[in-house]
A and B are shown apart, each in its own frame.
Chain A
Amino acid sequence: MHALVQGVILGVLTGGVYALMASGQTLIFGIMKVVNLAQGAMVILGAYLAYQLFVSFGIDPFLAIPITTLIMFAVGVAVQLLFLRPLRREDRSELSLLVTFAVALLLEGFMSITWNTSYRSINTGYENASWTVFGYQITQVRLWAFLLSLAALGLLFLLLNRTRFGRAVRATVQNPDSARLLGVESDRVAALGFGLGAATAAAAGSVYGLLYPFNSGSHYDLISRLLSIVVLGGLGSVGGAVVAAVIVSTSSAIVASTVSPSWSEMTFFVILMLVLLVRPQGLFGTVGRGAL
């Protein structure tokens, strides 16, 4: 029982971080119908940036977030303009999968040259501090990471619901064609949207770097989790991704703490298959099948 509750606590806290990563990815899908396979690599790049700022200038990873998000925003915009915009509209969704996969490899190659492939971790000195509440251990840094993710998600919600850009994004998500007719510049929305997705990856990367050691290949671990979360939540639904992230990481933490960590990786996939079996459109997806 103790292990179970501890698993739940860990799962919920970790889930917040995954929610942040996945929100960017699902946003990108919602706007452009592009499944960004480079989202994991962008998170790791964000982690490296935070690492470098910490090592070189002693900037705390939490405080580095405004800087790293700006850099990654630019990276995201560049990826969209250079690699995705030139794709023809008809086969964009299929080709974009492969193109973003290639971008992930490109980033991985860049990171392994810049920082070589040995594992890095950000040693702030507070990463091991923890509180004990009713016998359950809560690592402080995990709690801060969770709160920060919530704050970043809140900011994202405000951005989407309270700004002109957000309105354009939501219009594009719902109906790209009418949005264009209403004067939404889809290219600009796509570029900004991709930038925004990359920026959330950067914020999540700072946090990820604090929580786990990482190297250039770590994005492979991330991408399958992120993808399961995004599909589970219903492609394109930010709220769905948040809920799915918490569900998935909690159940994976429970399996890890009660059964065995070896099998916890499978939980993602099993949940994904089960949900697709019952609801092919994901938990909160509204998109039915095909274009009727």
Chain B
Amino acid sequence: MTRWGLGRGGGFFLVLVALPLFGLQHWVVNLLVFVLMYATMSSAWNLVGGFAGYPSLGHAAFFGIGAYTMALMFHGDVLGSGYEPFIMLPVIALVAAAIGVPIALVSMRTRADVFAIVTITFLFMVQTLAFNLRSLTGGSQGISLPIPPFDAATFERPFYYVLVLLLAVAMLLTFGALHSKVGLALVAVRADEDKARGVGVRVTGVKVLAFSVSVGLTAMVGAVWSYYESFIYPQFAVDPLITIAVVLMTFLGGRATLWGPVLGAFILEAGQQTLAYRLGGSQFYLIAYALVFLVIMLVLPRGILPTLEDRLRMRRRAREVDGAQTPAVELLASDEDKVALPHGGRP
């Protein structure tokens, strides 16, 4: 399975790397750039929202923090090669993580819903600040970045490849989480945090770790986006719709899986761009989006991949039972089964 998984990952990234070389039209590469952004952010969100079970609704704030940090770093500069902003990406990740850690420390002490509330409140506060701190952000007038001095014919490529790299990092981290004890700890936290605490899991540590890595990645995507756009406004840099898109993509593909968020991003972002194109970015777009969201939540709450996985598991199990093997399992499972509920009467 691991070899097959490795092949799958390698193949996927080979295709991604090769794609722009086929002389795709600008709008296609542009679409891919946005798909990659969302795939990276969904993978990042998945680390904390999927694995740890703490649904952050504030990731758009960190996207915006990344975008504005990048803008403030290079506002008014004249670029040489045009690659300087990309080199600063790790610094931006650190800035975002430094902001994220205290928020995580305070808001993850309680429960998932309080965490969601604190993060969404943070999102709106950052948005208001982006509007209000005019001397810094230019307020609703926006702020400009240097124009990337890239060849017009292949203008998107540097952004595209940087995003491929970021997606690779996000997926490697996810892979690491799945195959290390961190991942085990995160799943335990999601399943039953109090119990996890009681068996020595470093609950606070892994939660804060997951959150800061997650927001660091998100901020880097925001930074790349701001450079790509060259001019950013508060309502687009700190947009609740970004949060909601990222969450939705992760849910659609499947939480706490490696490929789920990526799959969700490829399906939804492509669909979204089409919708936005067809409906002209009008308000119908908002309604259509909300309806898609609701349908996914109600019809496929666990996501595509976990649902498929369950099917496979069931089929395998059925085959095993047909083969009438492992009498030990039968014996153990039958000799005492849910005799009764534990009797009540807790002091």
Point out residues on A near B: beta carbons under 8 Å: 33, 35, 37, 83, 86-88, 91, 93-95, 97-99, 101-103, 105-106, 108-110, 112-113, 117, 216, 220-221, 223-224, 227-228, 230-231, 235, 261-263, 265-266, 268-269, 272-273, 276-277, 280-281, 289-292
Contacts and interface: CB of A to CB of B under 8 A. Distances in A.
Main secondary structure of the interface of B (DSSP, over half): helix
Contacts of A235: 113-114
Given A95-B301, A97-B113, A269-B125, A276 B107 contact: yes
B301 A91 contact: yes
B40 to A, nearest CB: 20
Main secondary structure of the interface of A (DSSP, over half): helix
A37 B290 CA distance: 13
B289 interface: yes
Given A35-B113, A98-B293, A276 B106 contact: yes
Contacts, number: 142
A105 B289 contact: yes
A113 B286 CA distance: 10
B128 interface: yes
A86 B295 CA distance: 11
Chain B, interface size category, equals: 35 or more
A98 B124 contact: no
A94 B194 contact: no
B274 interface: no
Given A98-B247, A106-B287, A106-B290, A223 B297 contact: no
Contact of A109 (B106, B283, B297): B283
B293 A102 contact: yes
Given A35-B116, A220-B240, A227-B120, A103 B290 contact: yes
Contacts of B298: 83, 86-87, 99
B110 interface: yes
Contacts of B248: 98
Contacts of A223: 120, 124
Contacts of B113: 33, 35, 93-94, 97, 235
14 contacts: A35-B117, A87-B297, A87-B301, A93-B113, A97-B57, A105-B286, A105-B287, A113-B287, A224-B120, A227-B120, A227-B121, A262-B133, A269-B121, A291-B194
Interface of B: 53, 55, 57, 103, 106-107, 109-114, 116-118, 120-125, 127-129, 132-133, 193-194, 240-241, 244, 247-248, 251, 283-287, 289-291, 293-294, 297-298, 301
A268 B121 contact: yes
Contact of B244 (A101, A109, A230, A291): A101
